[in-house]
Structure 1
């Protein structure tokens, strides 16, 4: 990357999607959605790995350029850089369960690049970020609904004099 392109770079994130043993139903839908996001300019892929954790704890690592039939990913494979080091891969694989397969994506949030550049020009720097898993949001909303239902029941009982 040139110095100018670094100034214009959006936030770079990574994510790991793990598929437990027996729950690996790869239909190509994820690849198609990823290509759609890249083509729409929402994200720019920097690195993609596929990790397989064997029953003995060993890990097989596959880069996209090692796969013969990439399907829709063929369009974006040539643009990828090898960003993750062996130590990064070991740390990511340590959290995986034996028998599972994980996709690791490193991507630039292209949509946020103008804001990130403006923040840097203003002297700002990212000090923290995070992600709330959708499962946690659903659990929170369900807990709120249960609490609301319990409060309605208590109010109803109080009105009845119980």
Structure 2
């Protein structure tokens, strides 16, 4: 299986009122082979500060085992070099098979996000594979290209290049930063 570029996105939700819309959109993107959620952790903090954690992934069991081996290999490679790569691949595949999916995030991993989550809100940590980008990435590599950087562009910056009107950018900016203003 070719894996596309993987991105970690951390999202905040003020007064979360989930009705399955985000999960439905991630499933739609999965069905269109656009993105896959390798792992996700939703952390809910109620008005009293009590926390609830939930995992989400839309990988099949076979994909979870294969990606588990790759993620385990990356972790092992970073810790123990080539020997760690092999041991991590085996451990990652076994863990994915036992857990029924890839668990990149543990509840303990959320610790540094939890303190930042205001009461009566939530955060989502999403490890997403951009499957759509595999052919583009491969074409760039064949042409001798490589990534120098990446990032999301603030909607207000798009006004400067004429891609959005000031009103459209303000609406997007307000949507994207509503919870951050607290």
Report the TM-score when normalising by structure 1.
0.59
Is residue 2:11 matched to residue 1:17?
yes
Counterpart Cα distance in 2 of 1:48 and 1:83: 8
1:49: which partner in 2?
Answer: 41
Are positions 1:141 and 2:165 aligned together? yes
CA contact (8 A) 1:35 1:76 kept: no
Counterpart in the other structure of 2:123: 102
1:99 deviation in Å?
2.7
Distance 1:48 1:123 in 2: 33
Question: What does 1:110-125 align with in structure 2 at a 5 Å threshold?
Answer: 110-125=131-146
Question: Residues 133 and 96 of structure 1: is their aligned pair in 2 closer, same or farther, counting only changes over 3 Å?
Answer: farther
Unaligned runs of at least 5 residues, structure 1: 65-72, 146-162
Work out whether residues 44 and 107 of structure 1, in 8 Å CA contact, stay in contact via their aligned partners in 2.
yes
Normalized per residue, which structure has more helix?
A: 2
Name the SS of the counterpart of 2:165 in structure 1: helix
Whole-angstrom distance in 2 between the partners of 1:143 and 1:32: 29
1:68 matched to which residue of 2? Answer: none
Aligned equivalents of 2:7, 2:124: Cα separation in 1? 14
Unaligned runs of 5+ in 2: 65-100, 170-182
For the structure 1 residues 28 and 62, does the alpha-carbon distance in structure 2 shift closer, same or farther, using more than 3 Å as the test? closer
- Tell me the C-alpha RMSD between the 2 structures: 3.6
Q: Which has the higher contact order (CA 8 A, sep 6+)?
A: 1
C-alpha displacement of 1:134: 4.4
CA contact (8 A) 2:40 2:105 kept: no
* Structure with bigger gyration radius: 1
User: Alpha carbons of 1:59 and 1:123: their partners in 2 closer, same or farther (altered >3 Å)?
Assistant: farther
Is the CA contact (8 Å cut-off) linking 2:41 and 2:124 kept in structure 1? yes
TM-score, length-scaled by structure 2? 0.54
